[in-house]
Amino acid sequence: MGVAGAVGTAGCGFRGGDTTGNGRRDTGDAPSRRFRVRDDGFEVAVDGGGFDPLSVRGVNLGMAKPGRFPGEAAITRAEYDRWLGMMGELNVNVVRVYTVHPPGFYRALAAYNRSHAEPIYVLHGNWIGEETLREAGDASSLSDAFDRSMRQVVDAVHGATTIEPEPGYASGTYDADVSDAVLGYVAGIEWPPAVVRETNRATDATGHDGEYLTAPDAPPFEAWLAARLDDAVAYEAREYGAQRPAAFTNWVTTDPLDHPYEPFVDEDSVSVDPDAIAATDAYDAGTFAAYHVYPYYPPLLNETPAYAEYVDHRGEPNSYAGYLNDLVGVTDHPLLVAEFGIPSSRGIAQRDVHGRDQGRHTETEQGEILAAMYADIREADTAGGIVFSWHDEWFKRTWNLAPFSDPNRRPYWSNVQTPEQRFGLLSFDPAGAVPLDGSPEAWADATAATPERDPVRIGDGADASRELTGLRVTSDAASLSIRVELADLDGGVDWSETNYLLALGLTDPDDRVLPYGVDASAPADFVVRLGGPEASRVTVFPRYDAFAYEYGAGAGLDLDAYRDPEPGAFTPLRMVINRGYTVPETGERVPFESVETGRLRYGNGNPESPEFDSLADVHVSPSTDAIELRLPWQLLNVADPSRRRRLGDFWTEGIDAYETFEAIGVAAASYAPDDAGGTAAQLDAETNFTHAIPGVEGSRLRPLQFAPPTWDQPGYTERLKESGRIVGDAFGRYANRE
pLDDT given at position 738 = 83
**CA Rg, the chain, in Å?**
29
Q: Residue 583: CA atoms inside 13 Å, Cβ hemisphere, count?
A: 16
What CATH fold (topology level) applies to the domain 33-429+716-736? TIM Barrel (3.20.20)
Q: How far is 321 from 313, CA to CA, in rounded Å?
A: 9
Residue 27 has pLDDT above 90, yes or no: no
Give the count of beta carbons closer than 10 Å to the beta carbon of residue 481. 23
Give the SS3 label for residue 398: coil
Residue 21 has pLDDT above 90, yes or no: no
| Residues 6+ positions from 136 with CB-CB distance below 8 Å | 142, 195
Q: How far is 571 from 526, CA to CA, in rounded Å?
A: 9
Kind and range of the H or E run holding 426: strand 426-430
Residue 222 has pLDDT above 50, yes or no: yes
Q: What is the CATH architecture assignment of 432-706? A: Sandwich (2.60)
As a whole number, mean pLDDT of residues 525-530 equals: 98
Residue 2 has pLDDT above 80, yes or no: no
Q: Could you read off the pLDDT of 254-265 as tens digits, one per residue?
A: 999 999 999 999
pLDDT given at position 26 = 35
pTM of the model: 0.95
Q: Could you read off the pLDDT of 412-463 as tens digits, one per residue?
A: 999 999 999 999 999 999 999 999 999 999 999 999 999 999 999 999 999 9
pLDDT given at position 3 = 28
Q: How far is 710 from 124, CA to CA, in rounded Å?
A: 38
Q: How far is 714 from 106, CA to CA, in rounded Å?
A: 27
pLDDT given at position 11 = 37
pLDDT given at position 429 = 98
pLDDT band with cut points at 50, 70 and 90 for residue 151: very high
Q: How far is 412 from 711, CA to CA, in rounded Å?
A: 8
Residue 219 has pLDDT above 80, yes or no: yes
At 469, phi and psi to the nearest 5? Answer: -110, -20
As a whole number, mean pLDDT of residues 566-570 equals: 96
Residue 490 has pLDDT above 70, yes or no: yes
Domain spans, the chain: 33-429+716-736, 432-706
Residue 131 has pLDDT above 80, yes or no: yes
Q: How far is 365 from 716, CA to CA, in rounded Å?
A: 24
In 589-737, DSSP assigns E strands to 589-590, 593-596, 618-621, 626-632, 638-640, 645-646, 659-660, 664-671, 691-693, 695-697, 700-702, 704-706, 716-720
- Contact (CB, 8 A) for 465 and 484: no
Q: Which residues of 64-93 are buried (b: 16+ CB within 10 A; e: fewer)?
A: bbbbbbbbbbbbeeebbbebbebbbebbbb
- Contact (CB, 8 A) for 22 and 7: yes
CA distances from 676 to 319, 321, 536, 573 (A): 39, 43, 11, 20
pLDDT given at position 29 = 58
The number of helices, as runs of H, and strands, as runs of E, in the chain is 15, 43
Q: How far is 733 from 738, CA to CA, in rounded Å?
A: 9
Task: Work out the burial of residue 608: count CB atoms within 10 Å of its CB; fewer than 13 is exposed, 13-18 middle, 19 or more buried.
Answer: exposed
pLDDT given at position 203 = 86
Q: Could you read off the pLDDT of 276-291 as tens digits, one per residue?
A: 999 999 999 999 999 9
Kind and range of the H or E run holding 292: strand 289-292
Residue 64 has pLDDT above 90, yes or no: yes
Look at 507 and 19; give whichever has higher pLDDT: 507
At 123, phi and psi to the nearest 5? Answer: -105, 120
Q: Could you read off the pLDDT of 394-411 as tens digits, one per residue?
A: 999 999 999 999 999 999
Q: How far is 540 from 573, CA to CA, in rounded Å?
A: 6
Mean pLDDT for the chain?
95
Q: Could you read off the pLDDT of 591-622 as tens digits, one per residue?
A: 999 999 999 999 999 999 999 999 999 999 99
Give the count of beta carbons closer than 10 Å to the beta carbon of residue 659. 15
Q: Please name the amino acid found at residue 259.
A: H
| Residues 6+ positions from 366 with CB-CB distance below 8 Å | 342, 343, 344, 721, 723
Q: Could you read off the pLDDT of 642-672 as tens digits, one per residue?
A: 999 999 999 999 999 999 999 999 999 999 9
pLDDT given at position 31 = 84
As a whole number, mean pLDDT of residues 624-628 equals: 98
Q: How far is 156 from 174, CA to CA, in rounded Å?
A: 6
As a whole number, mean pLDDT of residues 673-679 equals: 95
pLDDT band with cut points at 50, 70 and 90 for residue 326: very high
Q: How far is 368 from 483, CA to CA, in rounded Å?
A: 32
Q: How far is 552 from 653, CA to CA, in rounded Å?
A: 17
**CA angle at residue 455 from 451 to 456, to 5 degrees?**
155
The β-bridge relationship of strands 289-292 and 246-251 is parallel
Task: Work out the burial of residue 464: count CB atoms within 10 Å of its CB; fewer than 13 is exposed, 13-18 middle, 19 or more buried.
Answer: middle
Q: Could you read off the pLDDT of 173-199 as tens digits, one per residue?
A: 999 999 999 999 999 999 999 999 999
| Residues 6+ positions from 477 with CB-CB distance below 8 Å | 66, 412, 413, 414, 430, 431, 433, 641, 642, 711, 714, 715, 716
Q: Could you read off the pLDDT of 353-391 as tens digits, one per residue?
A: 999 999 999 999 999 999 999 999 999 999 999 999 999
Q: How far is 245 from 35, CA to CA, in rounded Å?
A: 7
Q: How far is 172 from 733, CA to CA, in rounded Å?
A: 39
pLDDT given at position 491 = 84
Residue 28 has pLDDT above 50, yes or no: no
Q: How far is 100 from 80, CA to CA, in rounded Å?
A: 14
As a whole number, mean pLDDT of residues 17-31 equals: 41
- Contact (CB, 8 A) for 32 and 47: yes
Q: How far is 669 from 517, CA to CA, in rounded Å?
A: 13
| Residues 6+ positions from 172 with CB-CB distance below 8 Å | 102, 103, 162, 163
pLDDT given at position 268 = 98
- Percentage of residues in the chain with pLDDT exceeding 70? 96
